[in-house]
Amino acid sequence: MGKKKSSNKKNIKRTNRIKNSVKDKNIYIIISKTSTFPSKVIKMWTKEPYAHTSISLDIELNEMYSFARRKLHNPFYCGFIREDITTGVFGRDVDTTCRIARLKVSTNTYKKIVKMLREFMKHNMDYKYNYLGIVGIMFNKAVEREYNYFCSQFVYHVLEKSGADTFDKKPGLVRPEDFRKWDKLELVYEGKLKDYRQYLKDYDITEDSDAEYFNQCLGKELGSDVSEENSVEKKPVKEDTAMAL
């Protein structure tokens, strides 16, 4: 990974054998860029290295959550999805680059985040992509509508409503670059997404997780809250993109 790998080595001491205290837990903010056309357009417009934002509750990113395309070959059918780094656009675009950072939150905040994600999953088909918000952000005007989000707006919304640390900005104006520049986040990794899990193994980076909440967020309990009709949609939903800001 060249220079990126050297940069990552500086973070080994901080990330190796992470032990969560009783009071604190970790969540992960992922910003990324794929080779999709929307991602290229966004990068050209913003002049930023990343175009998509996701949130995860475990260091291995077994599942991430965001607003993006629900089907691999349809960038216009978008909404709330669960992402996986080995499938969908992320699995297809092996040159996807990313920046993964950790945010410490209280146990109470962590519980609220889990509860919010459960609600998003339970009503996943009710949530739509905030296309008007993308137009608004181009003119520095926040367009915020109930049940409508773009990716970075969604991640910030989750942080804000759960009581986690946030920065002073309206959710409808938040971009991936705001997370890249946010000094509250602690860098874990920067490089190709496909190399991330191997990087964790190479440097023996692990993290203790709360099994109860972790299992909820892996979909066992989240999935049980979704009706059969919506669960049919869940397979194509579990595809990722860099469509969103």
193-236 confidence digits (pLDDT tens): 999 999 999 999 988 766 555 665 555 544 433 332 333 333 33
Q: What is the per-residue pLDDT across 1-14, written as a single tens digit (0 to 9) for each?
A: 555 555 565 555 45
Q: What is the per-residue pLDDT across 25-34, written as a single tens digit (0 to 9) for each?
A: 999 999 999 9
Q: Is 123 helix (H, G, I), strand (E, B) or coil?
A: coil
* Residue 63 confidence (pLDDT): 87
pLDDT above 90 (res 168): yes
- Selection from 58, 29, 88, 101 nearest residue 243 by Cα: 88
Q: Is 205 helix (H, G, I), strand (E, B) or coil?
A: coil
pLDDT above 70 (res 79): yes
* Residue 237 confidence (pLDDT): 37
What are the residue ranges spanned by the domains of the chain? Answer: 3-237
CATH class of 3-237: alpha beta
C-alpha neighbours within 13 Å on the C-beta side of residue 111: 4
